[in-house]
Amino acid sequence: MYLEEFHRRSGDSVHISADQASRFAKEIANDFNPIHNPDSNRFCIPGDLLFALALAQYGISPSMTFVFTGMVGDNETLNFPTTTADTLEITFRDKPCMRIERSGIINHDEALIEAFSRRYVAFSGQNFPHMLQPLLEAQQVMLNPERPLVIYERMSFHLDLDQENLDPILEVAKAKLQVNGKRGEVNLAFIIQSNGKQIGQGSKRLIVSGLRAYDAVIAHQLMQEYLDAKAAYQNRL
């Protein structure tokens, strides 16, 4: 599996270094959120990496929900329990960091799981600026340029796994930002297609904090810094 270089496993325990997490975010998810940089004082493992590892271990079901309940730091001992339950939790320090709810027949086809995992993660990593910036500008708010913080809270999907030769493609169907003071909740609805046919749909929720009044010059600068960091990293590969 493509995930082998992004974690270490021993029995039910998984360890992810800051370097592994950052490389996954940048090279697989195309996600340059600064909280995934190893030197960030708020560093955390990308939720999409936990999602991908969970799919690889537990398989994919027609209906799944992933709720991110705790931020995981460098080289924490993550417990991925061996279970076939419909509700399960990934934990560290005896605290949950991700809860999974699922229903329907579990599919363990490795090729299908990797294809869906890669496509979803690449889709999910496009939060900023592509999805978020238009929403922020429309509400006349912006991220705090000194402490931009975007947190992945939950995602769910419903998927028809009975189709043959699945080649999943994900597209945004609807996006909405609800602002409450300095905090915002972003809800994204997406559809899943394969071979020109819709085979599923899903939703994703993000929390943005530290919002401030919109300043077009500063907002553009923040966006440009993000894109420059992305280009600089990709040019080194």
CATH no. for residue 138?
A: 3.10.129
Boundaries of domain holding 118 = 4-236
- Number of domains making up the chain: 1
Residue 127: the pLDDT is 85
pLDDT under 50 in the chain at which residues? none
Q: Model's pTM, two decimal places? A: 0.95
Residue 149: the pLDDT is 85
CA nearest to 121, candidates 56, 62, 75: 56
Proportion of the chain above pLDDT 90, given as a percent: 89
Residue 69: the pLDDT is 95
Residue 161: the pLDDT is 93
Residue 102: the pLDDT is 98
Which amino acid is residue 72, in one-letter code?
V
Residue 203: the pLDDT is 98
Q: Are 86 and 65 in contact (CB under 8 A)?
A: no
Residue 188: the pLDDT is 96
Residue 76: the pLDDT is 97
Residue 198: the pLDDT is 97
Residue 130: the pLDDT is 85
